[in-house]
Structure 1
Amino acid sequence: MGDAVDAIRAVWAQRRPELDTEPIAVVGRILRAARFLQETADAWLSDAGVTRTEFDVLSQLRRSDVPLRPGELTAGVVGSPAATTKRLHKLVGAGLVTREPDPADARAARVALTPAGEALVDELLPRQLAAEAQLLEALTPDQRRVLAGLLRTALEAWE
């Protein structure tokens, strides 16, 4: 049987048999899984008017005891500084975050949740966790622990 990645590797094995396509077996599946998870989250979060990456920014602010600089937000989510700026403009416009000058550095800004942003995270987080738990039911608890450990090892090396 197999999945789409197996099919991709089979074609490469015919067209370029001298190439070792083993990296595709891992990287291809991680990328496809990430895209699937992102699209799934975006679909159910759209009712709340946010994307998964915007929700990640809001969640990072909810976990913080102090307002954060945009660069700190970029470091905590997937994306570029330009993408963070775009997300912040949308979130400010939606009344979910505020962006104020940094009192210690007039060139910088600090971003904080508004009460509406905090309430949105508190409402959506349990739903997000339940939706992700449902997706992960395809794996046994032991498989989830092993996968989490393998991904942690890889991310520790890459980050």
Structure 2
Amino acid sequence: MNPETDPADVVERVSQEWANAYPDLDTTPIEVFARVNRISAVLAHQLDRELDRHSIGRSEFEVLGALARSDRPLRASEVVSTTMLSGASITKLTERLGDLGLLRRRKSERDGRVVLLELTDTGKELVDTQFPRRLARDEALLQPLTTEERSALITLLRKISRSIDVH
């Protein structure tokens, strides 16, 4: 693929329309962020479709993923810090995941006020199945990029991501 000769995508057309409507403004950010948003939306839709078969959504999968990545049971606050979900939503999500038999809530042996969350075997099996599928879809999307291009993209997106916290 050659960006110089490939036909315009929808983002390029929309960006050009904005540039025509507002010729005094630099519409370059649309070229970046509309594509990031579009890619994110497509990947989210694909994941939603896959998870729907298991009666869970992306947020619930994020909770399961946080527990799968950990080498020990986690407090709800720890799940909040690693998922960017709110504390209130974690409580609701973990109750639902518990009802589905995907995670277990138990009191800490050291402090009975603390509730620890851990995957059940069924929850671990779900993550063990879904995470590789998600990676395979992501890998297919990145297939046109060379190793160097992937590295450059990661570096550039990291710079932008870090600047969000500053602004």
TM range (shorter): 0.7 to 0.9
Separation of aligned partners in 1, 2:137 and 2:53 = 14
Structure 1 residues not aligned, in runs of 5+: none
Residue aligning to 2:57: 51
**Aligned mate of 1:140, from 137, 146, 151:** 146
In structure 2, the residue corresponding to 1:151 is in which secondary structure?
Answer: helix
Separation of aligned partners in 1, 2:64 and 2:11 = 34
Residue aligning to 2:111: 104
* Superposition deviation, residue 91 in structure 1: 1.1
Structure 2 residues not aligned, in runs of 5+: 1-6
Separation of aligned partners in 2, 1:5 and 1:115 = 43
When normalised by structure 2's length, the TM-score is 0.78
Count of residue pairs brought into register by the alignment: 158
**Root mean square deviation of aligned Cα:** 2.4
**Shift in CA distance, 16/38, structure 1 to aligned 2, threshold 3 Å:** same
In structure 1, the residue corresponding to 2:158 is in which secondary structure?
Answer: helix
The 5-angstrom pairing of residues 32-43 of structure 1 reads 32-43=38-49
User: Aligned AA for 1:66?
Assistant: R
Residue aligning to 1:60: 66
**Aligned mate of 1:77, from 62, 79, 83:** 83
**Shift in CA distance, 10/52, structure 1 to aligned 2, threshold 3 Å:** same
Percent identity of equivalent pairs:
35
Residue aligning to 2:25: 19
> Which has the larger Rg?
2
Separation of aligned partners in 2, 1:32 and 1:55 = 21
Question: Which has the larger share of helix?
Answer: 1
In structure 2, the residue corresponding to 1:2 is in which secondary structure?
Answer: coil
CA contact (8 A) 1:53 1:78 kept: no
Separation of aligned partners in 2, 1:48 and 1:41 = 11
- Structure 1 runs, 4 residues or longer, greater than 4 Å off: none
Residue aligning to 1:125: 131
When normalised by structure 1's length, the TM-score is 0.81
User: Aligned AA for 2:31?
Assistant: A
